[in-house]
Amino acid sequence: MALVCQCVGHCPGNVPNGTCLIKTNGMCFAAVEQVWNRETDQLELEKTMGCLAPDDAHILQCKGHLVPHHVPKTIECCNTHDLCNLELHPSYFNIPTNQYEENSHFPMNSSHLLVALITSLIVFIVLFVILYIVYKRYKIYLKKSQNESLYVEKNIPLKLDNSDKEKIDVTVSSGGSGSSVKPLLANSKRIIAIKGKELDLWKSSQKESSSYYDYKKYNNDSSTIDKRFIASESLSRDSFENSMSSGSGSGQLILIQRTLAKQVQLYECIGRGRFGEVWRGIRFSQNIAVKIFFSRDEASWNRETEIYSTVILRHENILGFLGSDVTSYNSCTQLWLITDFHQLGSLYDYLIETPLDIKQMLSIILSIVSGILHLHTEIFGGLGKPAIAHRDIKSKNILMKNTYTCCIADFGLAVIHTQTTGKLDVAENHRVGTKRYMAPEVLNQTLKSDIFESYKMADIYSLALVLWEVVCRTRVDGCFDDYCVPYYNCVPNDPSFDDMRKIVCIDQQRPEIPDRFKSNNILYKLEKILHESWSQNPSSRLTSLRIKKSLLKLQNEFHNELKV
């Protein structure tokens, strides 16, 4: 049954005063609220009446005076009989005299306070992030400024006669017997400033002797200066535009990739092979080696670049890497791999010309084993490296740094293994290892290609053959053998797989050990190491760590014998 309520200010049809009807469970209400009177510029009380629909809303509205409002209000409700709200007289006290007092008498709502706190927190976080970004950019700017202060390259025009113009640039044709060097004339010099001092990198002669500068007059350690400003970038397989850190053994910094080949002047071809050519060049008045790959052997160039770029190979017995680049001459693409230059050449070339004494022999084989051990060992941590198997160890891939020390080169076939992830990265390469140095399990195709230890044990077999080459050239009581490659008396100069498989796997032959080894204590013990390292069974071979420890022990014994 409907009830009638008095309405004032809340009547149907916007009628100022009158009545309204409510259904069952509806409410009649009377309310007092403050209204701002613009004419008097004060807050005044205004009484209103009306009807509340029979829903849940009236339950809260009728108790609205119990909570603070932005505009204070007092309300009372009833539904006992018709016009019951005429009997309601809600009252409101402490009415402010003006609008400003109104705001001061009512505390801030808790929800408003929460919103204010959240807003303040967000503003603080945004400001902190902005300041942190500015700080990091400032540090990068300072670091860049310091690097630029150590590497300053200028072009200073010179007024020179034609006879005095300097040959400062070079373009190289594609590899092969018809390759040539075409010098270009220019009337400018490259100057490098180091700590305010200028080094003239190009002199007025093309002769080798005039292409060098003595860095030591500017610093006691020329290699330190080299590390300050000689920089390079390695090229990734996927993009020539990418920049990446150089994983070189020389520890150089990073420079724009495509400028690297332009900084190199080639002088002479020092070697040719199935992969391409090796040239001696000059970069910043220092000798470097440039390995120019044939385009058909791009996979090997990619692999070496990838390994040097993504793996930290910094070690004294690993060839120092300066960078790689792609250049072109007469529409022929050239793939360059730029490394440290070592005047003595490969171990193969050195052994042909030079017999060794025991001290020199021990030092050489110890440096070779140290390089292999560094490759085979995984180093954990942020500056670590994965384990690497070389897969093409031979005397031609080992370079002589000096008469007592070697370094390992040529990583075109290398395999990478990371213990934490278990990932085995095998190069996709048409090349195979050198057949003369292949382990039995490689020749008879029983090598377990999914197990990294198999590749390491194959390396140990090849290493044993290299150690045999070195030991056989050792002078004992004035006697030494002429240099010979392994199995020289068993297979042709260019043996096939079948030739090597028959000798190594079926006949199980190994290189001959000279009889004079038995008369010398050091060589006799080395013979035992060789036999264990080239064992037919891969699991029976010594590890690179075990070989190194044995060699160190032999070296100490030799030194003690000399003291006696």
**Whether residue 43 has pLDDT greater than 90:** no
Tell me how far apart the alpha carbons of residues 170 and 96 are, in angstroms, rounded to a whole number.
92
For the chain, first and last CA: distance in Å?
128
pLDDT at 387: 93
- CA nearest to 347, candidates 332, 331, 361, 335: 361
Tell me how far apart the alpha carbons of residues 52 and 28 are, in angstroms, rounded to a whole number.
6
Per residue in 428-447, pLDDT tens? Answer: 765 678 999 999 999 999 99
**Whether residue 187 has pLDDT greater than 70:** no
SS3 221: coil
The answer to whether 542 touches 460, Cβ cutoff 8 Å, is yes
Mean pLDDT within 366-376: 96
Residues with Cβ < 8 Å from 560, sequence gap 6 or more?
none
pLDDT at 103: 47
Task: Work out the pLDDT band at 330, boundaries 50, 70, 90.
Answer: low
Task: Work out the pLDDT band at 382, boundaries 50, 70, 90.
Answer: confident
The domain made up of 3-107 has a fold known as CD59 (2.10.60)
Mean pLDDT within 271-291: 85
> In terms of pLDDT, which residue wins out, 166 or 50?
50
Mean pLDDT within 110-116: 78
**Whether residue 143 has pLDDT greater than 90:** no
What's phi and psi for 352, nearest 5 deg?
Answer: -60, -40
**Whether residue 504 has pLDDT greater than 90:** yes
The one catalytic residue among 226, 392, 410, 459: 392
**Whether residue 180 has pLDDT greater than 70:** no
Mean pLDDT within 194-216: 33
What is the token pair recorded at 72? Answer: 């204070």
pLDDT at 197: 32
**Amino acid at site 278:** V
**Whether residue 450 has pLDDT greater than 70:** yes
Instruction: Kindly indicate whether the domain formed by 344-564 is annotated with CATH number 3.40.50.620.
Output: no
Range name among 14-28, 145-159, 193-207 with the lowest pLDDT average: 193-207
Mean pLDDT within 270-297: 84
The answer to whether 306 touches 243, Cβ cutoff 8 Å, is no
**Whether residue 376 has pLDDT greater than 60:** yes
Task: Work out the pLDDT band at 109, boundaries 50, 70, 90.
Answer: low
**Whether residue 399 has pLDDT greater than 80:** yes
- CA nearest to 162, candidates 191, 204, 202: 204
Range name among 173-187, 248-262, 432-446 with the lowest pLDDT average: 173-187
Share of the chain above pLDDT 70, in %: 73
- Degrees, nearest 5: CA angle 357-361-366: 155
Range name among 65-79, 83-97, 213-227 with the lowest pLDDT average: 213-227
The answer to whether 194 touches 227, Cβ cutoff 8 Å, is no
- CA nearest to 248, candidates 292, 310, 325: 310
Range name among 229-233, 248-252, 464-468 with the lowest pLDDT average: 229-233
pLDDT at 71: 65
Range name among 58-62, 219-223, 427-431, 442-446 with the lowest pLDDT average: 219-223
392 in active site: yes
Average pLDDT of the chain is 76
- CA nearest to 458, candidates 437, 432, 427: 437
What is the token pair recorded at 79? Answer: 């539904």
Domain positions in the chain: 3-107, 344-564
Mean pLDDT within 12-35: 84
